[in-house]
Structure 1
């Protein structure tokens, strides 16, 4: 398919070619342009149905059919802002803001194009925007494989004391960095150090919610961010984890600020596993919000965000795809069945027949062979909840499943132990009454 700019080269020299938005040869939106488009969509077009525009864009291959199908599927039960958020992310990765204005003109959305131009002019005149330059993530395959490997080891319970063991390994890497004379090799080693520290944070959050989001491994990463090969990507790993910890501490507003910071850097880089990790942290954050305030709006937000994460995995290798897909699908099942971030069952949460059916469908997508230690526990809770909701005849199966889950939680000393114990006690009491 020809690029947008190429398609428009043959157009007559009218006002469409005089769009005052500099972009050079960029085929994507920088952070400023993303912010402008997001603000335009969520303010000027907040009450305008986005489907006519989205369908026309899809017809011209300016957005993917998958994006269009996802938005159409969610349109009945979601506010327009969700559709615009998905659309904005898709467009921003395909063309510059200037090219998008050209596309609007070419599709005869003339008033919309002029409104966007006026909004751009006013925005750049009055707003101070943080300068985050878009970067190419380069060949990060090796460090991404390392990050996945370490994260998998944590889930598999390879380390008896993962946080302490990873801390020791990190100290050794730090010593090697100090002895290394090659700047290039030092950068690679800092990348590994940051990935290791991110995994250390994950290992710690598996054991406790009482974590200082500005100390310990967080501070260790902060100190070396600018020495890594891609500081923007390193900040994505950092801010997503800060948001996760802050949500566990009940500091939701701070957490939302960290998510915003993380996505600013994630959107300023090409899609990579770190940006997928950021989307996953956002899904978990939304699950903690849903637990506090169950609503169909938050539920749809979470499911749309998880779908976005799954979509971004399309270009990854199969083993990487399976690893991350299981994370996203697990949280989607939790959302449908009313299970919180830490395995707490939502009190008085209505699980609709549609949600029950969707949870069953999601379970059927994967045989769940070779699940890591922690993931056995997490999926086990979901399985027990599904068995409970399938009726009293399945209650014995639910109890058996949850009893095994409790053994895993105790063995791993996971934070979810009290919630699982409470759920097991609740099911046991119901079974006795039955």
Structure 2
């Protein structure tokens, strides 16, 4: 896959400490478990396996956090696209409640891991605000806040004035605050997970794209582009928005949308105090949502959808820069010094998918734009499953790999919607 347009390094690449040494795999050998993909899920799986005395080897095509894990907005948002009652209706009482508990715990996982391993990761946990831009959105956020409060989450509904005060914009009719949410420097966090996994006994090899998976009896052979091979009884594949053709049909089960972001130059103290003054992060109720936050350097970040193709020029981010001026008129004309993007994997039902298409091969795919907490927690439960073989340790049932019918047309349809979104500046007038 082509690299993003090289205007400048991402904000995260500029401000993260160096990653650990993860040399390419140079010699063939054996591993207890081979994990393909060095993002949040792969690294969390490796860490939790290594802590249980199992020797995992992570093979990453580029470098730790290169993909969506190191290129997202750094918002740690618990939950899924479905509210708790919707999960119960979809999966039944027992499975649905268990899935809701899993979804509600995902932010805890991130901040617990940062603390437990003393990671060098700028982070803040002041909560997440979801702003409602329509009357229907107001009903939605009130229902969502009530349901999560019923499960013990620290939530509250916000009226228009309180939403405006906390966000620094008058563009929303109201919203809700979920105190479980927060923010991390995502590339620093991915590198922190890698350091913790290495310390626990895992091996991680960057620059080692996997080109082949072959099974003979109970043994898998994992082949890398440089020719080195690993034999193993268990493979975990977690490449999400950067999934290629390694397993037939897998890439066609998701829409690998490009999430674009811009960051301003550091704001003055006065401007910084006028936007998100209490340190929350925010995304809204739009189908193609906008998300924004301040980072630890005092920059305002704005994120949203961009073209499916890799960017060609700074114009591919221009709609986000205009949106900043529309949401925050006092920032109109401010300078931006970072532009970047990364892919997220979106499934048709907006849920993560777990597949086991052959004995010893487990696939996790579908981050839905909430990958920081979701995939960190998924890695822990995947490790439980690898150790115990008990599918009840997984938050979701194992399902067959089922490519989207007419996948190319799904992509064209979504591309058309995104084109409208960009031309209309996210629907903001």
Q: Shorter-normalised TM-score: what interval?
A: under 0.3
| Structure with the higher fraction of residues in strand conformation | 2
Q: Which has the higher helix share?
A: 1
TM-score, scaled to structure 2: 0.22
Higher relative contact order (CA 8 A, sep 6+): 2
> Which is greater in Rg?
1
Give the TM-score normalised by structure 1: 0.22
